[in-house]
Amino acid sequence: MMPIRRLGSHGMHKNNALVPVLSLVFLSCASAMKSRAGELTIDRLFDSPALSGPAITGLRVSPDNALITFLQGKLEDKNRLDLWEYDIGARRSQLLVDANALSASGQVVSTEEMSRRERQRTAALSGIQDYFFVADGKSLVFAVDGQLFYVDSPGSAQRSFQQLTAGESPVTDASVSARGNFLAYVRNQNLHLFDLRLRTEKALTLNGAGAISNGVAEFVAQEEMGRHTGYWWSPDERHIAFERSDESAVHQQTRLEGSGMSQTLVQQRYPFAGGPNALVTLGVIDIASGAVTWIDLGADPDIYLTRVQWLPDGKTLAIQREDRTQHQLDLLFADIGTGKSHVILTEKRSSWIDLNDELTFIRKTGEFIWGSNRDGYEHLYLYTADGRKERQLTAGGWNVTDFRERAIRGVDEKRRLVYFLANKRSPMHLDLYVTSLDTRHPEKVHRITREAGIHGVAMAHDFSFYVDHFTSRLQPRQLSVRNSDGGLRAFVLKNVLDAQHPDAPYGADNSVQEIGSLRAADGQALFYQLFRPKNFNPAKRYPAIVTVYGGPGHQGVLDQWAGDSFTQILTRAGFVVFQLDNRGTAFRGAAFQALLSGQLGGVEIADQIQGARWLGSQSFVDPLRIGVWGWSYGGYMTLMLMFRAPEIFRAGVAGSPVTDWTLYDTHYTERFLGRPQDNPAAYEASSVLGYAGNLQGKLLVMHGMADDNVLFLNSTTLFSRLQNLGKPFDTMVYPGTKHGLLRQQDGRHAYKTILQFFGSALGPE
C-alpha cells in the first residue's frame, strides 16, 4: 500500500483548543498575482504546463562536480520527462536529451517495467525515467520507451548519442557498473549484461519464465518494502548479486485487465495475508566465468530479503533479513566466495520492525553507520567492522528521515562528517544536518538549511556544495545551488510566483493551509491543516470535508505548496477542507506509530472522530454537513468513519479501499495484525464489513477494476455486504485502471465525480 510518505511541547493547549502553530495568509503571494483570478478547473490541474512550475526529479551532481542533472517535464506535456543539465561554472541550464527526438513512436515498455512503475507510483510518466553517469561522468546512459541510449560528453556542444539496445523486447531496471564498463538490466524475466566497450549483450540467467524471475524484486518487495530492484553491482564490477524469485506457491487471483471494450482475464500471483510468499534466493554471478555462488540466507526459507548492499572490499555482501513475523531484523555479512553468512547485529521489536535504509560503510576504517529507532526515534549509530557499537551519532525526540528514501546524504571520510536529513525543526519540516562521526554529544547536530519547509538535497562529491530542492506553503518547488554552510550560490530554478508563473491566473484565490494541533486522548499532539473556502466569511457556516489517509508510513500535514491540489477545487466550491495526522502515522517516533499494532481502525478512527468533532465546533463550520474522503488506506478509513460515526459524517467517498484485511498482502497486513490463522479476532475487528450495517449517510465507492494492489475484490465484497443489508450506496468503477488512477487521465473523471457527489450530498443549508 506504500503511501506518500514534531514540533516540541511549546505552543500546545490542554483542552483541544485551536493552536495556530504556523498560521499564514496568502497576501504576500497574492500581491504578485494578477488582480483578477481566473477559474481553476479540474482539467487545468491535469493540463500542461504544470501549475507548480517545472516538475523536477532525478536530481544528481556529476562525478566531477561540474554539472547538475535532472529530469524535467515538458512545457506542453508535464508528464513526459526530458533530461536537463545545469553548468555550475557558467550558471546556465540547457536541454541535454529531448525524449521525443529519440522516440516518436510512443511508449513501449515491458510488463516488468509497467509493474515496477505502478509500484513506484510513476505509471503516469513517460519519456526518460532514469539515467546514470558512467564512471568519471564523461558519458551518460538513459532509457527511453524501453530502450537504452548512450550520450558522450554531456555539457559539451560536441556531445553525441548512440542507441545501445533495440528489438521488440524492451528492457527494465538498467544500471551502470561502478567502473563504467558494463550495463545490467532485466529482459524477459532474466538478467542481462551489456559490454559498453564491445557493444555486445549476453544473458546472465536463462531460466526466467512463468513463476521464476531473475533480477526482479518480488511483488511485496516493490509494493511494501520500497525495494524496486532485484540485483546489485559489486564495487569492482566483477560480480552481480541477484535475487531469484519463485512464485509457484503464491495464490493466483483472477482479475480483469483492459478497457471497457476489451477485457482480458489475468492470473495474478497475489500473496494474500496468511498465505505463501514468493520463495526468494540470493546468488552472486562472476561476470567473467558466469559461475553462480548461492548465499546462505538461513535455515528458514519463509523470510523477507529486505535490503542488499556490497561492502567496499567487493568480496562481502551485507544482507538485511526480516523474519515472517516482522519482529526481528538481522544484518548478515556473506562471503561471496563460499556463500557462507553470519549475523553481525540484530534488531528486535515487540510491535514490528521498520526497514532500514541508513546502512552506510566507511571505506577507510571499515566502520559502518546503522539506522535504528531502538531509543524511540530513528537515529544513526556507528559500528566497527565486526558489529560492535561504537557510539550513537544522533539523539532526541525527532527522526533522521527523508519521508521518501534514505536520509544519509553523504559521508565526508576525510573530515569524519555525516550529512543527513531530519525533521528536528518540527514534524512538518525537513532539513539538512551535519554531525561528526566522533561526536560525544549526539543530541547536538548542526542544521545547514535555513528556510522553513521541505528540503530535498543532493550533495557534491567533495562536499563543497549541495543542491537544494525546496518547497514551502508559499513556495512551489525551487532548485538552488548552496554552499556547504547553506549560503545561496545560484538558483537553477527560482520558480517565482510572479505574473508569468503558470499559477498566476489562479493564485489570488488559492487557500493556504493553517497548521495547528489538537491533543489525543493519551495527551499526544495531533497536527492538522485547515484550508478556508474562497471569499471566506467568518459569519457564515460552511460545509466541511475531511481528507484522510491515516495509515502507517504516511504524513499528510507538511509545510509544502498545495496550489496545484484538488483541495483548491474544493475550497473554490465553498468547502472547508481539513486534514489530521492521527496516531499511527509516520515520522513521530516508534511509540506514536506502534499504537496500530494488533488492530487497524482503532486509534486512527478515534483520533479522526475527535478531529471532526473539533472541526464541527468551529463557528464557521456547519456540523450537519461534514463529509470525508480518502484513497487506499484513506478509502478504508472513510468507510470506517462512515460506519462507526454516522452521526458526524453525512457523506463519504472511499477510493480503492481495503474492506477486509484477509484480502490484502502478507508483508503490509501481517506487520500489524499477524497472520489471520493466528489472530482471527484482530482481522474481524479491523474489517469494515462488520460495521456496514451502521451506514446512514451517502456513500460513493470508487475503484479501478484492474487494480493489482488493492484488488477490486475488496469493493465487490463490500458491494455484496451492503446489498444484503439493504443499504443504498453509489459506485464508480474504472475498467482497465489500476491503483494510481487519480494520477492518470482517469483522475480527471474521478475528481469531477467526487466534486459533484459532495456538491449534491453536502449542498446548500
What is the tens place of the pLDDT at every residue in 605-647? 999 999 999 999 999 999 999 999 999 999 999 999 999 999 9
**Other C-beta atoms lying within 10 Å of the C-beta of residue 654:** 31
Please check the confidence at residue 24 and state whether its pLDDT lies above 80. Answer: no
The 10s digit of each residue's pLDDT in 648-675 is 999 999 999 999 999 999 999 999 999 9
**Looking at per-residue confidence, does 156 or 314 come out higher?**
314
Q: What's the mean pLDDT in 424-429?
A: 97
Res 155: pLDDT: 60
Write down all domains in the chain, each with its CATH number in brackets: 205-258+265-355 (no CATH), 513-761 (3.40.50.1820)
First to last CA, the chain: 38
Mean pLDDT for the chain overall: 92
Show Cβ contacts of residue 239 under 8 Å, excluding neighbours closer than 6 positions. Answer: 233, 284, 285, 286, 287, 314, 336
Taking alpha carbons only, the member of 414, 383, 379, 420 closest to residue 402 is: 420
The share of the chain scoring above pLDDT 70, in percent, equals 93
Res 644: pLDDT: 98
Reported pTM: 0.93
Burial class (CB in 10 A: 0-12, 13-18, 19+), 539: exposed
Please check the confidence at residue 559 and state whether its pLDDT lies above 70. Answer: yes
CA distances (Å), origin 158, targets 30, 161, 197, 248? 45, 10, 20, 51
Res 617: pLDDT: 98
Res 148: pLDDT: 92
Q: What's the mean pLDDT in 212-237?
A: 96
Q: How confident is the model at residue 135 (pLDDT cuts 50, 70, 90)?
A: confident
- Between CA 622 and CA 630, with CA 627 as vertex, the angle to 5 degrees is 150
Res 4: pLDDT: 31
What grid cell was written down for 453? 519547509
542-547 vs 576-580, strand pairing mode: parallel
Res 27: pLDDT: 33
**HSE, side-chain direction, 13 A CA sphere, residue 649:** 32
What grid cell was written down for 94? 540547457
On whether the CB atoms of residues 431 and 421 are closer than 8 A, the answer is yes
Q: How confident is the model at residue 690 (pLDDT cuts 50, 70, 90)?
A: very high
Q: How confident is the model at residue 31 (pLDDT cuts 50, 70, 90)?
A: very low
Res 154: pLDDT: 65
Res 531: pLDDT: 98
Res 116: pLDDT: 86
Q: How confident is the model at residue 122 (pLDDT cuts 50, 70, 90)?
A: confident
The 10s digit of each residue's pLDDT in 507-527 is 999 999 999 999 999 999 999
The catalytic site residues sit at 632, 707, 739
Quick one: angle between helices 603-616 and 633-644, nearest 10? Answer: 70
Report the SS3 class of residue 573: coil
Taking alpha carbons only, the member of 661, 757, 657, 633 closest to residue 715 is: 657
Q: How confident is the model at residue 156 (pLDDT cuts 50, 70, 90)?
A: low
For residues 295 and 37, what is the distance between their CA atoms, to the nearest angstrom?
63
Please check the confidence at residue 687 and state whether its pLDDT lies above 70. Answer: yes
Cα 196 to the chain's mean position, in Å?
33
**Is the sign of the CA dihedral 162, 164, 169, 170 positive or negative?**
negative
Please check the confidence at residue 593 and state whether its pLDDT lies above 90. Answer: yes
